[in-house]
């Protein structure tokens, strides 16, 4: 009897426990958990996303480079749609009937229950007309958002653009959903998390005609959108615009850095385009048109194009030789165009030391310097490996930008590369001599060239080049961004030797005719780069002034004939504009020539991409 009594109490206890669980769950569902209430009321509720205004981007002097303008998307929930006058609707929003039907069908495939954008980026004027007629179109509603605007129409490659999120991004980050926008390139991409802000959500009560009747539960479940943070870029907007003007009609790039900070003052790539082309209803058409342009205007040549550096590389060659202790006092002879195995471009003093060799851009000297650097080690392989490591240390052959989206690394050929083609032990410094003058398999980006002269300007260090200097919080506070400092202790006297040689390039050497600026002592180096596809490329690197430098610059012009023809004038004009505020009248003809020259129309342009 006791056994049955115990079983009775056990059964009662189990039923009581189950009943308690059920009651507790019902209480949670009906009182505590509001999601079930929303689900039950979904036929009279609309979930609306409140998109925050994207952060504004300024230049270093407070000039606005990117701001926002109101725009509106039309969304549809397919299951709520009723037959409607498609022609009337199309006339209001300005789309073809076929386009509208196609977008509605895509929305149905995506989900019949979730809203999908079918017409994007309506103007305020169109929105006003449609809003008055919206009651005629069940299942349709309008969602406000902002679009980017570019008052100066400059720096398209730097700023980047914003585009609709794809499925890959949605899968990678749960923040995004269909119809959202995301930074696709440039600063917009690199600082997406800061610029985008945080979306808000509103739940609206709607009637059978999908007209809003008020907030659900007085808005207690709504979340407010948080606007994106503003950014202060490192760019000098006026100097950027000037550089783009000088590059008109050419294929190439300019990149200028403030040496002491690594802040990029100018990053210009040509051909360029109006960044506003990626805004509005014609965005897809404009994108496709730019994508097939043979001159590749969407390519940011300053950081994504890799080129042979030519004679500008002799600066790096010199620094490595000085660091190895083989060039301080040495003098090499040169026979001008009769020199072998690498001929020099012209006759000049001989024998000559390093400073004169930089001034004259002597191929013979730098080939012999390279041979001494490689042969300084027991085997050519060890010499090349040491040479390669030194280049990587000074920022050549690797990505160096602190916040640059899309940067490429260039190429420094390795021991393994030459072993593959010549066999292990089947090559030496003579075999790879083209590296000594910046040709052969060596490839660098214009950014790396500019950073290289920043290192010389600073006499032994560089800071990662970057495009944003600070982030402005909503409360008005400003957060500066710190980037890594790299020190290359090659000896102050060695840096001064290179600077002295570069000064002589401008004053009495290969750039004297096109780069001299009155009452300004600065340092430069020309480069004329062999090009199997047409005219030689023109390059020039410089920093100014020589003492306490404020700007380091690299200019690379495809098919620019020779270093002093386009590279040196463009760089010197930008330096003069930046440091003096204007171009002297005696040099005005250089500005006119650079602005009006059109290499794209007159030369066959290939390579460098």
pLDDT in tens, 306-347: 999 999 999 999 999 999 999 999 999 999 999 999 999 899
Does 344 lie in the same domain as 212?
no
Does 204 lie in the same domain as 179?
yes
Does 255 lie in the same domain as 110?
no
**End-to-end Cα, the chain, rounded Å:** 94
Q: Give domain status of residue 30, yes or no.
A: no
Residue 212: name the closest of 117, 136, 113, 135 by CA.
135
Does 333 lie in the same domain as 203?
no
Report the range of poorest mean pLDDT among 20-34, 197-211, 462-476. Answer: 20-34
Does 411 lie in the same domain as 310?
yes
Residue 608 confidence class, pLDDT cut points 50, 70, 90? very low
Report the chain's mean pLDDT, rounded to a whole number: 89
Domain boundary among 233, 265, 289: 233
Does 207 lie in the same domain as 144?
yes
Does 102 lie in the same domain as 115?
yes
- For residue 25, the model assigns a pLDDT of 73
564 and 542 in contact (C-beta within 8 Å)? no
Q: At what angle do helices 588-596 and 237-246 cross, to 10 degrees?
A: 70
Q: Give domain status of residue 372, yes or no.
A: yes
Residue 533 confidence class, pLDDT cut points 50, 70, 90? confident
- For residue 588, the model assigns a pLDDT of 95
The CATH number given to whatever domain includes residue 76 is: 3.90.1310.10
Does 101 lie in the same domain as 206?
yes
Q: What is the pTM of this model?
A: 0.86
Report the range of poorest mean pLDDT among 50-54, 250-254, 261-265, 374-378. Answer: 50-54
Phi, psi of 207 (to 5 degrees): -95, -170
Does 478 lie in the same domain as 369?
yes
Q: Give domain status of residue 466, yes or no.
A: yes
Q: Give domain status of residue 280, yes or no.
A: no
Check whether 507 has a pLDDT greater than 90: yes
Does 587 lie in the same domain as 484?
yes
Does 265 lie in the same domain as 171?
no
- Environment class of residue 152 by beta-carbon count within 10 Å: exposed (0-12), middle (13-18) or buried (19+)? middle
Does 430 lie in the same domain as 550?
yes
Check whether 136 has a pLDDT greater than 90: no
CA distances from 533 to 370, 537, 559 (A): 27, 10, 9
The CATH number given to whatever domain includes residue 524 is: 3.40.710.10
Check whether 3 has a pLDDT greater than 60: no
Look at the block and give the residue holding tokens 């002295």.
Answer: 500
Rounded to whole angstroms, the Cα distance separating 79 from 195 reads 35
CA distances from 427 to 105, 144, 417 (A): 64, 66, 11
Q: Give domain status of residue 71, yes or no.
A: yes
The sign of the torsion formed by the CA atoms of 325, 371, 417, 316 equals: positive
Look at the block and give the residue holding tokens 């930046």.
Answer: 578
Domain boundary among 207, 233, 259: 233
Q: Which domain holds residue 476?
A: 237-273+299-601
Rounded to whole angstroms, the Cα distance separating 165 from 177 reads 8
Q: Give domain status of residue 290, yes or no.
A: no
Please count the structural domains in the chain: 2
Q: Give domain status of residue 211, yes or no.
A: yes
pLDDT in tens, 231-257: 999 999 999 999 999 999 999 999 999
**Mean pLDDT value of segment 186-202:** 92
Helical residues (DSSP H) of 94-226, grouped into ranges:
97-110, 124-133, 156-159, 167-172, 186-190, 192-196
Cβ-Cβ contacts under 8 Å for 4 (sequence gap 6 or more):
none
Check whether 607 has a pLDDT greater than 60: no
């Amino acid at each position: 009897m006791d056994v049955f009594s115990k079983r009775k109490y056990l059964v009662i206890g189990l039923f009581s426990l189950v009943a308690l669980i059920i009651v507790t769950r019902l209480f949670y569902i009906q009182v505590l958990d509001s999601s079930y209430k929303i689900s039950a009321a979904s036929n009279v509720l609309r979930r609306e996303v409140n998109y925050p205004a994207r952060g504004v981007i300024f230049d270093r002097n407070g000039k606005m480079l990117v701001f926002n303008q109101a725009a509106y998307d039309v969304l549809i929930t397919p299951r709520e749609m009723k037959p409607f006058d498609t022609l009337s609707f199309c006339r209001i929003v300005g789309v073809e009937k076929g386009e509208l039907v196609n977008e509605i069908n895509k929305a149905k495939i995506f989900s019949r229950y979730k809203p999908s954008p079918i017409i994007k980026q309506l103007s305020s004027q169109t929105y006003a007309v449609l809003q008055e007629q919206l009651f005629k179109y069940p299942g349709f509603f309008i969602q406000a958002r902002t679009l980017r605007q570019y008052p100066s129409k400059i720096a398209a490659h730097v700023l980047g653009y914003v585009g609709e999120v794809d499925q890959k991004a949605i899968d990678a980050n749960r923040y995004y959903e269909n119809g959202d926008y995301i930074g696709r390139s440039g600063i917009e991409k690199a600082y997406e998390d800061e610029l985008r802000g945080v979306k808000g959500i509103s739940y609206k009560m709607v009637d059978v005609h999908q007209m809003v009747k008020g907030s659900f539960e007085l808005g207690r479940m709504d979340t407010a959108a948080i606007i994106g943070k503003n950014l202060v870029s490192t760019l000098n907007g006026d100097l950027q615009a000037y550089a783009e003007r000088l590059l008109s009609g050419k294929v190439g790039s300019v990149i200028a850095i403030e040496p002491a900070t690594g802040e990029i003052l100018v990053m210009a790539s040509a051909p360029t385009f109006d960044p506003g082309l990626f805004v509005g209803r014609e965005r897809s058409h404009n994108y496709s048109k730019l994508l097939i342009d043979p001159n590749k205007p969407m390519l940011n040549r300053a950081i994504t194009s890799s080129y042979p550096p030519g004679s500008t590389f002799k600066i790096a060659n010199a620094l490595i030789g000085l660091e190895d202790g083989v060039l301080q006092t040495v003098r090499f002879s040169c026979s001008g165009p009769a020199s072998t195995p690498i001929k020099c471009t012209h006759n000049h003093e001989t024998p000559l030391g390093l400073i004169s060799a930089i001034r004259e851009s002597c191929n013979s000297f730098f080939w012999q310097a390279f041979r001494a650097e490689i042969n300084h080690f027991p085997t050519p392989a060890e010499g090349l490996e040491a040479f390669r490591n030194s280049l990587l240390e000074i920022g050549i052959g690797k990505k160096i930008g602190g916040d640059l989206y899309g940067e490429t690394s260039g190429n420094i050929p390795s021991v393994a590369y030459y072993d593959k083609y010549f066999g292990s032990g089947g090559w030496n410094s003579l075999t790879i001599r083209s590296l000594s003058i910046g040709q052969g398999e060596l490839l660098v980006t214009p950014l790396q060239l500019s950073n290289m002269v920043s290192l010389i300007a600073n006499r032994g260090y560089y800071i990662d080049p970057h495009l944003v200097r600070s982030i402005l919080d909503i409360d008005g506070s400003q957060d500066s961004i710190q980037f890594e400092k790299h020190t290359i202790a090659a000896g102050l006297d060695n840096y001064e030797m290179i600077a002295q040689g570069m000064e002589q390039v401008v004053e009495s050497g290969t750039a004297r005719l096109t780069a001299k600026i009155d009452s300004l002592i600065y340092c430069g180096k020309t480069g004329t780069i062999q090009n199997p596809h047409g005219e030689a490329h023109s390059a020039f690197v410089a920093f100014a002034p020589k003492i306490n430098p404020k700007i380091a610059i690299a200019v690379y012009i495809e098919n620019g004939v020779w270093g002093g023809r386009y590279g040196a004038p463009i760089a010197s004009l930008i330096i003069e504009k930046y440091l003096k505020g204007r171009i002297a009248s005696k040099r005005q003809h250089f500005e006119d020539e650079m602005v009006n020259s059109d290499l794209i129309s007159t030369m066959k342009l290939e390579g460098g991409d």
